Amino acid sequence: DAGVTQSPTHLIKTRGQQVTLRCSPKSGHDTVSWYQQALGQGPQFIFQYYEEEERQRGNFPDRFSGHQFPNYSSELNVNALLLGDSALYLCASSPGQGAGYTFGSGTRLTVV
């Protein structure tokens, strides 16, 4: 049973560019959340998607946007990249509300 799958694993982008990260949730999971983890820090909640809608959002600017598809997979888009956006981006899925989250291995984004 595949867990949460994220792609790509690593990415290098130039300041000002745009990036799209992808996530396939664990089988049977319909809720997807995205987190940003800076080096030496705990993950920070970006937003959560359920039934193709953004259900909750953390304290991140509008440059961060997302989408969930009918098959529950999700994308995270970041526009106008800043050096400070360099981090590990984690996708987590769960089988509905109130359950534990399964995390993927993340996409390491470096902005130069």
| Tokens (6 digits) for 101 | 């989250």
Q: Would you list the DSSP string of 6-58?
A: EE-SEEEE-TT--EEEEEEPPTT--EEEEEEE-TTS--EEEEEEETTEEEEE-
In angstroms, the CA 76 to CA 29 distance is 18
Interface with another protein, residue 111, by CB under 8 A? no
Q: Which amino acid, one-letter code, is at 32?
A: V
Q: Which of 21, 106, 109, 111 touches another protein by CB under 8 A? A: 106
Write out the binding residues for another protein, residues 11-70 only, by CB under 8 A.
Answer: 31, 33, 35, 40-45, 48, 55-56, 58
Interface with another protein, residue 103, by CB under 8 A? yes
Residue closer to another protein by CB (options 18, 23) is 23
Q: Give me the residues that bind another protein (CB under 8 A), please.
A: 4, 31, 33, 35, 40-45, 48, 55-56, 58, 90, 92, 97-98, 100-106, 108
